[in-house]
Amino acid sequence: MFKCSFIFLLFLWVQSQSEKIEPFLLRSIDKSGSHRELVTQFTIPTELLPDVIEGGDIQCFLLFTETVPSGAYIDSDQINSLKNYGGPDVLLNTVIDVEKAEFESTQFEGRIFTNLSYDGDNWTSSYILPIHLRYHSLSDQDYTTVTFNNPEVSVRCLNQKIGMPHYGYHGNTVKQTSEVCGSNSKILCDWIVIQYKTVSL
């Protein structure tokens, strides 16, 4: 039986007292076989969003830009069906042909929009993304590798009382970019691409 393994580019960080406070990403792959789930959890320390309080006027959102390699795909019909039951809010940048083999396919991007929740110590967000393996060309090896890199993560905050953007993120940033405000929106919003660390258990 042909088998496929996954590789994440994960780095283990040991936090010292002198280390700067940073958001962090935790990733895992659940299930087995050709149908998997990419589980992503993201945490922002409250110190980096000092103006945001639970139930307050300022609300923040995250945008994860995932690059899906040619050896895997996302089923857009499945995503749309799951969204109606609380599944991830995903915008794909291309039409996905689920029948194509790996050697006929190219990588593509998916944008996942999430809200932040307060857990008492941090602001957190998570999503479960169903992914599927494509057929690969015949090989003498028993395994092949499909590599998922870490996503680009962006934040935007909105003062809902006055309907204006709020630029109150206090962590390290990479750049500012304009992307749609949500998967069903045609309006562009200012998103701040942020730096973060990746942790493993």
What are the tens digits of pLDDT across the range 29-41?
898 888 999 999 9
What are the tens digits of pLDDT across the range 129-183?
999 988 777 665 666 788 889 999 999 999 999 999 999 999 999 999 999 999 8
pLDDT surpasses 90 at 13 = no
Q: Provide the pLDDT for residue 16.
A: 42
User: What are the sequence ranges of the domains in the chain?
Assistant: 3-7+21-198
d(CA 54, CA 56): 5
Section 116-140 average pLDDT: 86
Q: pTM (2 decimals)?
A: 0.85
Tally of residues, the chain: 201
Higher pLDDT, 119 or 144: 119
Q: What's phi and psi for 73, nearest 5 deg?
A: -150, 165
Section 40-68 average pLDDT: 95
d(CA 7, CA 147): 5
Confidence at 4, pLDDT banded by 50, 70, 90: low
d(CA 69, CA 106): 7
